[in-house]
Amino acid sequence: MNQIPLAVPHMSGNEQKYIQQAFDTNWIAPLGPNVDQFEANLATYTGAKDVAVTNSGTSAIHLALTLLNVQNGDTVFCSTFTFIASINPALYLGAKPVFIDSEMDTWGMSPIALAKALKDAAAKNKLPKAIIVVHLYGQSCKMDEIMALANRYSIPVIEDAAESLGSTYKGRQLGTIGTFGIYSFNGNKIITTSGGGALVSNDAKQIEKARYLASQAKEAAPYYSHSEVGFNYRLSNVLAGIGIAQLDVLDERIAKKRAIFDAYETTFKNNAALTFLSEWQETFNNRWLTTVLLEDILPEKIIEKLAEKGIESRRLWKPMHTQELFQDATYYSENKEGSNADILFQKGICLPSGTQMTHTQIALVCQVLGQICK
């Protein structure tokens, strides 16, 4: 039986054109016309003033925090319900993460928990240098409430939209609402450059500074001159060529992702054992991965039974405040009764959502899942 993967890269067929151009012109370095075009195309698609493409989404977050002057001993507030790449760049800079619970409508950062954390931080005269909100599984956070709190305390917001390119909040592309936004083009994302990312902002001067920092902070001089610490974070011109072709089919990929989600949701609309993440009001979800919460069934059982049929599935993100690395970190839950993020982890799984999935494969997943969740 053929394996049905969770999500794998899906080439458009036009990538070789841009890769060949890079080889023909010998633009193999992390500079060149493909990089320039990919950045321009991303800016056009997202509506951001400017874009710097990077070698990963993680490095884009690192650049954003660096541009915000996050330093050793500072605090950074971040969603607890995320992948560790959202947090690691703060650790690189010696900052201390403070974790914020999810709310159950979008699974994103809880404005209620964030308000508690900011109130406490203000009382201690220890406000964070930045707030990193994570748009999970293609779904926007409640950005009006989060931005209102951030603006009240004058805290810049970084949108980790690694999973959410093409998703919108009230008509605006995710990643373009806060001070900075980041995207990931890792192999399992909705479009890929093999490995890569992007930093976006409506402040073009900051993006220009990001390019400078990402290129080893080389000064404009006829010799190698440096006055700041820099990084080797720029995207290869070869990989940027892949990105150009991938971005051309992004809307098609989103349509397929949403069709896969609709097939699952329609099949199980009357099954009380399964609850799908709904699209929050005035948002558009790219449905990067179809996620579901289980009632009275352990995720491990579902994952095991699906695997027996050659179907890959996966647990939702394990909250950061429960990770051994962060055992001493401060955590703000939305309510006293418990942690929403913990509930999501305990109940949730991701279903196969690759854009190459056939109708037969989708039907097989539904059949097996239906047999388990009778």
Answer whether 162's CB lies under 8 Å from 155's CB.
no
- The predicted pLDDT at position 51 comes to 98
Residue 228 pLDDT > 70, yes or no? yes
- Same-domain status, 200 and 267: no
- Same-domain status, 244 and 254: no
- Among 209, 230, 248, residue at a domain's last position: 248
Amino acid identity of residue 352, one-letter, is P
Query: Both tokens of residue 354?
Result: 């690759």
Its domain, for residue 146, covers: 15-248
- The predicted pLDDT at position 29 comes to 87
- Same-domain status, 198 and 320: no
Confidence label for 30 from pLDDT (cuts 50, 70 and 90): confident
**Average pLDDT over the chain, rounded to an integer:** 97
- What does the pLDDT look like over 308-360, one tens digit per residue? 999 999 999 999 999 999 999 999 999 988 999 999 999 999 999 999 999 99
- Same-domain status, 329 and 226: no
Query: Both tokens of residue 236?
Result: 């290869």
- Same-domain status, 195 and 263: no
- Among 230, 248, 266, residue at a domain's last position: 248
- What does the pLDDT look like over 155-189, one tens digit per residue? 999 999 999 999 999 999 999 999 999 999 999 99
**Would you say residue 3 lies in a domain?**
no
Query: Both tokens of residue 14?
Result: 């036009």
Where helices occur in 190-282 by DSSP H, the ranges are 204-214, 237-248, 250-267
- The predicted pLDDT at position 2 comes to 61
Say if pTM beats, i.e. exceeds, 0.95: yes
Which of 27-31, 147-151, 330-334 bottoms out in mean pLDDT, i.e. has the lowest?
Answer: 27-31
CATH number at residue 52: 3.40.640.10
Answer whether 185's CB lies under 8 Å from 164's CB.
no
Interhelix angle for 237-248 vs 15-24, to 10°? 150
Amino acid identity of residue 168, one-letter, is T
- What does the pLDDT look like over 66-92, one tens digit per residue? 999 999 999 999 999 999 999 999 999
Residue 1 pLDDT > 80, yes or no? no
- Same-domain status, 305 and 193: no
